[in-house]
Chain A
């Protein structure tokens, strides 16, 4: 369930990056999930997909996840336009 609060963090970080770069929308965000982070990918994705609909610049954003060593959750790369 804590995946939802982490997805909220991702949404606000992405919105900040869109503003910072003068972009209009996010096409794709790549997120690294630590193997030992205790974060469930499906729940994180579910949270993000629900939250993004409320954000005009994220409505169609794709979430790509990769598994990393360690226990962190890292926003690695963002494709915008």
Chain B
């Protein structure tokens, strides 16, 4: 008997004037509706939207900085940054000449669709144009919570960096199950860690057989061409 589970109140079924209502209503419905709205909105801007999910420090912002250099001549991009606090990531992207807006959640461990809706409006205003080829949404650094929330993206990307270890797909399956692309980042560090590419690939494909996988390093440039080719292919 404890208050937490409410078991003290069990067994008082009979004799009450209680009635039961079948509701069957999704508690994620409000977010999902807004996410659908975001997707349409992004399509009206001509954009393919990508939601980047990873633990803190897996290299999301660094990848976007290097992606800007590789994409910029032919494609236009905008970035919506999500963090708990600070404008820092948006500032890093703007230094590359890319329009970027910062969403701060003030404590929440994930972005949600209503917040991203504001972000889309602010991005258009900040950039002074309503046309993008790619809109990247960098989620709050967290490998768990963001996976529950559709933001209106067209593709979802999960990143794991070599120092984090190759057991992450097995330990955080829900995130990998719902992703389209798995990026193994910081491969320049492979000689210094016991990260097994084979294990990461195998276990990721066990939870999601349709997952595409690319290994890359923003620092050495290895694999960056595959990533850029993957992005370009989305626009064909």
A positions within 8 Å CB-CB of B? 1-2, 5-6, 9-10, 13, 17, 21, 23, 27, 31, 36-39, 45-46, 49, 60-63, 71-81
Is there an interface contact between B24 and A27, defined as CB atoms closer than 8 Å?
no
Partner of A2, one of B4, B22, B30, B110: B110
Interface size on B, residues (CB 8 A): 33
Cα-based distance from A73 to B6 in the complex (angstroms): 21
Q: Is B174 at the interface (CB under 8 A from chain A)?
A: yes
Which residue, of A5, A6, A31, has the highest number of chain B Cβ atoms within 10 A? A5
Given contacts A2-B145, A27-B16, contact A36 B177 (CB under 8 A): yes
Find chain A residues with CB under 8 A from B6 CB.
Answer: 49, 60-63
Is there an interface contact between A10 and B27, defined as CB atoms closer than 8 Å?
yes
Cα-based distance from A9 to B6 in the complex (angstroms): 20
B positions within 8 Å CB-CB of A? 3-6, 9-10, 16-28, 30, 108-110, 112, 144-145, 147-149, 174-175, 177-178
Cα-based distance from A81 to B9 in the complex (angstroms): 14
Partner of A62, one of B9, B108, B110: B9
Given contacts A2-B108, A27-B16, contact A76 B27 (CB under 8 A): no
Partner of B19, one of A1, A31, A76, A80: A80
Given contacts A73-B28, A74-B25, contact A79 B174 (CB under 8 A): no
